[in-house]
Chains A and B, each alone.
Chain A
Amino acid sequence: MEFSEKITNRIGGETLTSCYQCGTCVSSCPIARITSEFNPREVIKLAQLGVREEVITGDAIWLCTSCYNCNERCPQKVEIAEVIYAMRNMAFEASNKPAIYAEFASAFKEQGRVVPVSQFVEKKRADYGLPPLQPTGVEALQKILAALSFGKTSSKEGEDK
């Protein structure tokens, strides 16, 4: 299967092929204003052309700040931020990921929350007169995540789901 087809088959990637390269996204992008390392139009073009390596192993897809300005203004209704998430999901499965997101993934899965609540925090909350925190549903979450192979990398190098 073509790389671009693998993207459009995924949740979030469906609208990739509608892009006609007008550049409205770039002129709306706060990141493209301050660095040449991220340009949403180019990321979409590379994905359409099937340049897998540059998309999946490069830094560009991780520099989107998810502000959704491009999504909002795209005349072709390409959901650019979502397409970038779909590509990040593929990069993650191929073990290309920023360290901080790997930390998020394990905190999410192990504790059901991405910011830990220590005994110190619990005590401070009581001092402030805030109610004790309710237990998290981490066990339910783990069952749900197990059903969708959360955080697993694919078995073969260069293979995408």
Chain B
Amino acid sequence: MKSYALFLGCTIPARQPSYELSARKSLSRLDIELVDLPNMTCCAPPPVESINLEANLSAAAYNISLAEEADLDLVTLCAGCFQSLAKANAILKQEEHLKKRINKNLSHAGKEFKGNKEVKHYLQVLKDDIGLKKIRASVNRPLSNLKVAAFYGCHVLRPSGFLRFDDPERPRILDDLIESLHARSVPYRNKLKCCGGLMRGISDDIALELARDKLVNTSKAGVDCITTLCPFCFVALDIGQIQLRSKRQETYDMSILHYSELLALAMGVKPEEMALDTHKIKVDKVIEKLE
């Protein structure tokens, strides 16, 4: 069994119980122990980067230092947390002068960033630590009837020089993980374009236009659902559909499922055991197609 410090972030524990439940259940069945450490804070995502980049690096380094003290690598479920923490981890490991500057800030709280741990998104744990073969073997409700649109979003892939998640122009990891559940990963137009999530609250029209592009193109590709790996992509596409209905009278009825939810379903976890009814767009059509 391998253990990780689970970095939950802010949005998932407060608003997406189905993501957290499905991730905890599926990872524990695959012999990954998730340790909930005290005293973590917000990762300092793009809104904090917009206010003060030094605060972003310092908050990220502070959280990583807690995992270092516990002698654990970190795993995130959120692409935003992953980007904040993994980017800071890589930059501070490389740039000694910046590390000194940030550690001076951390010293006020009696902490130090050493740079001896890794930050991973849970898809990397699934692919690299567990492996596609073992995941395939864990399936007892194959998703053979499902056509799935893999949606990577932005913040696991880029900036790739720091994140080293997958090829930023031709990623495969999510497609491979979908196919290991016996589902089909279907190509669609503008697959790697942004969901618009970060424009919500800044320009809702632009945000909806970007989400709409995803829904139009995945609908044309005839998929049963879109699979996400980020809570903000999920919100942009799930709640985004409610807004498109009221603002533009457009109905897509596209189920949005986090990868961990598909994985847990394929392992035989029941929908009610992971609060799947908390999705705004119902996922019944997907569940009916399970074997």
A124 touches B109 (CB 8 A): no
Nearest CB on B from A30, distance (A): 5
**CB neighbors of A among B190-218 (8 A):** 193-194, 196, 198-199, 201-203, 206, 209-210
A100 to B45: give the CA distance in the assembly, Å.
Answer: 14
**What chain A residues lie within 8 Å of B40 (beta carbons)?**
134, 136-137
A-B contact count (CB 8 A): 182
B42 within 8 A of A: yes
**What chain B residues lie within 8 Å of A71 (beta carbons)?**
158-159
A63 within 8 A of B: yes
Given contacts A65-B194, A112-B41, contact A11 B17 (CB under 8 A): no
B54 touches A11 (CB 8 A): yes
**What chain A residues lie within 8 Å of B109 (beta carbons)?**
137, 139-141, 143-144
A72 touches B160 (CB 8 A): yes
B154 within 8 A of A: yes
A11 touches B98 (CB 8 A): yes
Interface size class of B (residues with CB under 8 A): 35 or more
Nearest CB on A from B66, distance (A): 7
Nearest CB on A from B31, distance (A): 19
A117 touches B20 (CB 8 A): no
A66 touches B198 (CB 8 A): yes
Between B8, B39, B58, B209, the greatest number of chain A beta carbons within 10 A of the residue's beta carbon is seen for B39
Query: Which among B11, B39, B198 is the interface contact of A140 at CB below 8 angstroms?
Result: B39
**What chain A residues lie within 8 Å of B21 (beta carbons)?**
128-130
**What chain B residues lie within 8 Å of A22 (beta carbons)?**
none
Nearest CB on A from B289, distance (A): 25
Which residue of chain B is the closest to A139 with respect to CB atoms? B109
A100 to B199: give the CA distance in the assembly, Å.
Answer: 11
Given contacts A134-B39, A134-B40, A135-B39, contact A115 B14 (CB under 8 A): yes
B13 touches A125 (CB 8 A): yes
A85 to B55: give the CA distance in the assembly, Å.
Answer: 12
A140 to B105: give the CA distance in the assembly, Å.
Answer: 11
Query: Which among B15, B203, B209 is the interface contact of A115 at CB below 8 angstroms?
Result: B15
Chain A residues proximal to chain B, CB less than 8 Å:
10-12, 30-31, 34-35, 62-63, 65-69, 71-72, 79, 81-82, 85-86, 88-89, 92, 97-98, 100-101, 104-105, 108, 112-117, 121, 124-125, 128-131, 133-141, 143-148, 150-151
3 nearest CB pairs, A to B: A137-B39, A68-B158, A140-B109
